[in-house]
Chain A
Amino acid sequence: MTEKKDDRKNKGFSLGVGTRRVIAYIVLVLLTILCLFWFYVLFVNATRSKAELIHGFTLIPSHYAAKNLYNLFHNSNLPILRGLLNSFLVATCTAVVSTYFSAMTAYAIHAYDFKFKKAAFTFILAIMMIPTQVTALGFLSLLRRINLMDSFIPLIVPAVAAPAVFFYMKQYMEANLPMELLESARIDGAGELRTFNQIALPMMKPAIAVQAIFSFVTSWNNYFIPALVLKSDSKKTLPILIATLRSADFLKFDMAQVYMFIFMAILPVIIVYLFMARSIVAGLTAGAVKG
């Protein structure tokens, strides 16, 4: 009763809660459509034949998905299977390397006291925002000098130094890795590396899972550096193949295959997201810089 009265009282200069709720739902539903529409159309078009695609727009899926996929996999101009494999290999290694060593770096700062601890921490935070693009020129000339051009190594190893992943791990350790536990492992005579590998790391599983997904996705989607590093066709990752697809004579291409290609490129991420969305979104806020 009183609530209703309050609503009415506010009406002069503000909308009631009910109205605001309706507006919020309408906007949210519209945004949901706006976010998903493109991917739905992509899905629909990936299931249609070349001939059907010429007929124009529709929201009803057709039944050529398997045929399109078959054609795509047998298209000798577009090594998509190879691309999927390369992308998967690079992204998986990157995720492993990045999470393991970032946890190690965070552990150094979290579990030990040493002279340059604070300086090291500040330094890592300070270099967080340096974009890879501005050092790309020197990076490429380094690779030419040490003969690592056209190799996956320069796409994977630099992920050892990932300040953002480190920062997340550090935050997580502060809340979830009590020093007493590490002390007791030491008393039991476990070596420091073993304490890290067998006691600290297992306790970091939730943080590692979230960051592994982020690292995997970032690497999977990465285009700028891989496009400059990878030269031979057998090593190209998916984003580079997409660029090839774009620069090919577009009208000569089978559009059904183009849609199927894009669909295959984003499908793995969408599948992972379907299962992990909740913890990914929660992980975002936990790692976010907040007051």
Chain B
Amino acid sequence: MFRMSSVSRSALFGITVLTIGLGLVPAVVLVSTVGVSGFVRAWHSSYQLSSALETTLLSGIIALAIIVLLGGPTVWYLARQAPPRLVTWALGLILVPLFMPPLVLGLVLAYVLGPDTAVGTILSAWGVSPTNSWFSLVVAQVYEALPYFLITAWAGLSTLSTRVEESALSLNRRPREVFWYVTVPLAAPSLIAATAMAWSRVVGAFGAVVILAYHPTGLPVAIWIGLQELGLAQALPLALWLLIVGLPIPLGFAWRGERHVALRR
């Protein structure tokens, strides 16, 4: 590895610590304000916590599964098969929802999924409530998180050389074998990063969710309700629970990242 002068390295280290430290300020304040006792007490005192937790976890897992199922093949196509011009356009279009504040995204989606709209009418006919339902909750979460998955996964996958897969195919191994033995493991770091990013967005989705799915109430909306009804003392412990729920996948990614970095040096 290229070695910098100790002064430059120290300066970079300082900037890195500052950046991470600034990013951690909200979490540190949250943990120190709520404390372990407040965190545990919330489980017993908040009538909403267990159901909100269940709602967030269940809807989040469903939303994440949809994101991976839709986003995985899309990213694969864009990184491996699509003509360059289509990729440019597709990436631009993928970014469009990110330019909308989530609240606006929710309002716009309400125009599509509202009870009186064509889609809403069809869904209602099928027995699916288009708003304030598990369906609308998952839709809102998917809309908020999908672009993050696509961009992150594409950025990683597009840097993988196609020659690796081609040489594997030339070793008389069928595409399916090459996909599982070569492509998936090599793409894993970027896919895990994308999944971690998407999960963070899914569990924290609020803007679109509060418009489309006030009920069933997930943790972000429960925090909002808690803040309105009982103030910070009620909202912050729930926020800490949300943080804890969101952490496992990003932590798993950090662990994978450490192995990856260690291997490269």
Q: Do these two chains interact?
A: no
